Amino acid sequence: VTGAIYPDSDGNFNAKPGGSHLSVGSIGWTPAAISGSNGMLKPLWTTVILSSVKKPSTCAVVLTPPSVNWGTVKRAGKKAGDPLESARQIGINSTCSGDDEVFQHSRLLYRIDGPFVPGKPNALASSIDQVAFAFFDSANNPLSLSTGHRGSGENARYVKRGDDSYTASTQVSVVPILMKADGAGGLAQAVAVISVWSDVNFIEPSA
């Protein structure tokens, strides 16, 4: 599933509903009913101002792999905050078309949306409160959800392909974390929405 971003009449770029859905379940220790939903998603960079827009620009994202499944794991001997399994890598590949001024000399900007655990902005809440999925960048720094991040690595710079297309890619990792050591367990599933753009005029959020 891909999403596109178009300028509105003021030249601001706003996300339309969409983005690429990354399934980061399933992990569990006993069968249980799934409950909960991924909630409302906030708009992506609602006021990224871009001057002299000549034509609408759109980006599509491909995730590799599109889903991650750790299977059944043991929680014996683990305490809250411990990883339940080893991290998995997710490749984020962005292909954009549009105004050269938007993508030339720019880097991949991405954002991961989904319900996060209160007090842990990089942890995606799952369908059970005992497990969350924590995101990290390629340098192992925690990645806050619902915030723009510049792609790291050589390939994160947009490169022109053909007449009207730019591509860039980066990697993130995701790891299942035990949030509570008690409880019945169950199947922890979650869906994150990943959106991509250019970092033109992007200002890093202050800490």
Residue 77 forms part of a structural domain: no
The residue with greater pLDDT, 179 or 35, is 179
Mean model confidence pLDDT for the chain: 75
Residue 61 forms part of a structural domain: yes
Q: pLDDT by residue (tens digit) across 113-171?
A: 888 899 999 999 998 898 999 999 988 999 998 888 899 999 999 999 987 799 999 99
What CATH number is given to the structural domain containing 190? 2.60.40.1090
Q: What is the 3-state secondary structure (H, E, C) of the chain?
A: CCCCEEECCCCEEEECCCCEEEECCCEECCCCCCCCCCCCCCCCCCCEECCCCCCCCEEEEEEECCECCCEECCCCCCCCCCECCCCEEEEEEEEEECCHHHHCCCEEEEEEECCEECCEEEEEECCCCCEEEEEEECCCCECCCCCCEECCCHHHECEEECCCEEEEEEEEEEEEEECCCCCCCCEECCEEEEEEEECCCCCCCCC
Residue 76 forms part of a structural domain: no
21 confidence band (pLDDT: 50, 70, 90): low
The residue with greater pLDDT, 29 or 87, is 87
- pLDDT for residue 187: 85
Q: Under 8 Å CB-to-CB from 128, ≥6 apart: which residues?
A: 32, 183, 185, 186, 187, 188
- For the cut 60, the answer to whether the pLDDT of residue 50 exceeds it is no
- pLDDT for residue 176: 93
Total domain count, the chain: 1
Residue 53 forms part of a structural domain: yes
Least confident among 7-11, 51-55, 75-79, 102-106: 7-11
- pLDDT for residue 34: 30
Residue 205 forms part of a structural domain: no
Domain ranges, residue 134 = 5-69+83-198
Tokens of 45: 């960079």
Residue 104 forms part of a structural domain: yes
Q: Phi/psi of residue 157, each to 5°?
A: -85, 135
Residue 75 forms part of a structural domain: no
The residue with greater pLDDT, 90 or 37, is 90
Residue 41 forms part of a structural domain: yes
